[in-house]
A and B are shown apart, each in its own frame.
Chain A
Amino acid sequence: MASPFQNRPRPTRRASRLLNIGVPYLWLGLFLLLPVAIVLQISLAEPTAAQPPYAALWQWVEEGVLQIRLDFQSYRLLWSDSLYLASFLNSLQVALVCTLLCLLLGYPMAYAIATAPERWRLPLLMLIVLPFWTSFLIRVYAWIGILKTNGFLNNFLLWLGVIDEPLAILYTQTAVYIGIVYSYLPFMILPLYANLTRLDPTLLEAAADLGCRPLRAFLRVTLPLSRAGIVAGSMLVFIPAVGEFVIPDLLGGPQTLMVGRMLWTEFFSNMDWPLAAALALVLLGLLVVPFVLMQRWQQGALEDRP
């Protein structure tokens, strides 16, 4: 309907636009930028044996003179002590392997659900989501019961006769892999499922009509078209897996070096907040860079025109 007032600037419209743009930025500022700024500030402070355990970054030394002391010791320590680098690399490796395992397990599951008869899909999805209704901690604890020397898994394998002696799985890196893959699998399945259900089944029929056997049709049509889902799922698994603390702490052994544990140790055992803050920021940087690159690549793939 054409309104006679349509050219008059409407204050409510403008206000709502401001709100629309403003709220997300405010949110970002309050809950992302501000905390990062605080962490950055702590990471550049000098550790002390006080409460809080770091020196103030700035102080007024005399009337009108502000003194700022930036202490880069923490960052230098990160570089000089190979333990930190090793834990980074190990975290990346664990996260990468777990992401791949989640993809290998999750893709067929997501595919099966997406291609199941309509009335089966919701119940199957519920089965994937159901574990979230119990506490994450309890589920990880349950794995101790399963994996320990006298646990379900070993007893079952012994009973089957597959092994003669119980396997030492608990408190090894293997247990960490199992724990992470188990915990993060739904985060891989859900975006993949969302992606695969949107896939037009006629495309597969067209491929078959043009001479593709089912496997080739999958490789040439389904797989490339589900790339967005693969990327989203991988991100959702990889990013939290790198910084994972609870699972390596409960299921991993003393040799399981992971950044999350290092952070915890620095913060709570050594009370070295600046070092922990530096570690956290480097971790953040290492995660953001590949994420941005991935985003670019995805957008490029969608838009690449001659």
Chain B
Amino acid sequence: MAIAIDRRSLEPWQDPKAQPYVRIERVTKKFGDVYAVDDVSLSIFQGEFFSLLGSSGCGKTTLLRILAGLEYPSSGRIFIDGADVTDLPPYNRPVNMMFQSYALFPHMTVEQNVEFGLKQERMPRRERAERVAEMLDLLKIGELRRRRPDQLSGGQRQRVALARSLAKHPKLLLLDEPLGALDKRLRENTQFELVNLQERIGTTFITVTHDQEEAMTMSTRLAVMDAGQIVQVDTPTGIYEYPNCRFVARFIGSVNLFEGKVVERDGDEVLVETPLGRPMRMRCPQPLALGSPVTVAVRPEKVRLCAAFREEAVNQIRGLVEDIAYLGDVSIYHVRVSPGQIVEMTLANIQPRTEQALTWGQEVAMEWSPTSGVVLAD
């Protein structure tokens, strides 16, 4: 249920003349024999809310720490605002980081925590006080100013950590699982707050998360990572609608995958033959040799009930309802179409459930259109 935030105004990656603000060039980081980050290249633009998404242990934190200067890459370069910062220590980078554990100084009050970075850059007292007030205001934590971290709730600590990392007005803010320690309720509210905050101050954000919904909701673009490598970089819509491989298709949301091979090309559509018997006609702009093995990926919500089932039609399939998960707004149906294949279909519950036609064991016919899915080459 990711709700997209209007980001249409900001699409610098579409502009070939735009200069990336952060450039990661073939960065690799080895810990012993483990490649935590493996030959990663990325360009991130000013004002973006960029997310690194991947399962635990795929190297997200390591990449973020390399940007912060807390880890040095085994090879590759990092450029921020055109300058090579690869060898700069963290205290000389125009970058701040919000740590996953928040890392608030336990012996300092909220105010002192926020002020800490400003003191290091020897900002005059008056200006410092103003900046601290501005930050406490921005995150609405003014009344906590004299408390210590151990007297704060998780949500309050998160705000203090954010205020502290923003206090120096960094050009780039790195956030490691910024919402990871919050409970679900708070996390959803905070997602929007974080995005609004980012749009208001215009700082470039790079966040790390393993929560795909969170990444979809907040980001302008996201990079899906797996085993230290970047698998796909795109907007949330692009990642969801046009995954470039089975890993991404499966990682974000649920998906029906049909294995088969290309038998015919017709304009920008291809005909794919599957073991299920009937061919599938799918849009496929990328060139694929005839006969090459492919996977057709169709999202469950793009599968519909078919009114007129014909034996010879494409993109139609029949099966028995095996499982129904009623979620209130939608229901998820698992339909067995062959001994080895289940098709997942999500239907909006337009009628109250009691009046719905589909029940267990019933035979249903389903269909989808050629533009409702993608053909994956792997």
Contacts and interface: CB of A to CB of B under 8 A. Distances in A.
Given A205-B70, A210-B168, A200 B91 contact: no
A299 to B, nearest CB: 14
A200 B120 contact: no
B116 A210 contact: yes
Nearest to A208: B90
B151 A203 contact: no
A266 to B, nearest CB: 46
Nearest to B116: A210
A34 interface: no
Contact of B103 (A203, A212, A213, A305): A203
A79 B90 CA distance: 61
A213 B91 contact: yes
26 contacts: A200-B101, A200-B103, A202-B99, A203-B103, A203-B105, A205-B70, A205-B90, A206-B104, A208-B70, A208-B91, A209-B90, A209-B91, A209-B95, A209-B96, A210-B120, A210-B164, A210-B168, A211-B91, A211-B117, A211-B121, A211-B168, A212-B91, A220-B116, A224-B107, A305-B148, A306-B146
A206 B99 contact: yes
A203 B149 CA distance: 13
A225 B97 CA distance: 22
Q: What's the interface size class on A, roughly?
A: 10 to 19
Interface string B62-93: 00000011100000000000000000011100
A205 B91 contact: no
B101 A211 contact: no
Contacts of B168: 210-211
A200 B103 CA distance: 8
A208 B148 CA distance: 21
A208 B92 CA distance: 9
Interface in A184-207: 200, 202-203, 205-207
Interface in B324-358: none
Contacts of B30: none
Given A202-B99, A210-B96, A213-B91, 7 more contacts: A205-B70, A205-B99, A207-B105, A208-B70, A208-B90, A211-B168, A212-B91
Contacts, number: 59
A244 B133 CA distance: 54
Interface in B138-175: 146-148, 151, 164-165, 168
Given A221-B105, A305-B151, A208 B89 contact: yes
A224 to B, nearest CB: 5
Interface in B253-275: none
B106 interface: yes
Contacts of B90: 205, 208-209
Most chain A beta carbons < 10 A, residue from B97, B105, B165, B168: B105
Interface in A38-70: none
B116 A202 contact: no
Interface of A, secondary structure class, is helix
A221 to B, nearest CB: 6
Interface in B102-116: 103-107, 116
A209 B97 contact: yes
Most chain B beta carbons < 10 A, residue from A210, A213, A220, A225: A210
Interface in A219-235: 220-221, 224-225
A224 B109 CA distance: 14
Contacts of A76: none
Most chain B beta carbons < 10 A, residue from A205, A207, A211, A305: A211
A207 B96 CA distance: 10
Nearest to A212: B120
A78 to B, nearest CB: 42
Given A213-B91, A225-B106, A306-B146, A207 B116 contact: yes
A216 B99 CA distance: 20
Contacts of A200: 101, 103
B121 A202 contact: no
A213 B104 CA distance: 18
Most chain A beta carbons < 10 A, residue from B97, B104, B120: B120
A203 B105 CA distance: 7
A115 to B, nearest CB: 16
Nearest to B145: A306
A212 B118 CA distance: 10
A211 B106 CA distance: 18
A208 B165 CA distance: 12
B146 A305 contact: yes
A225 B149 CA distance: 14
Nearest to B164: A210
Nearest to A203: B103
Contacts of B121: 211
A206 B100 CA distance: 11
Nearest to B148: A305
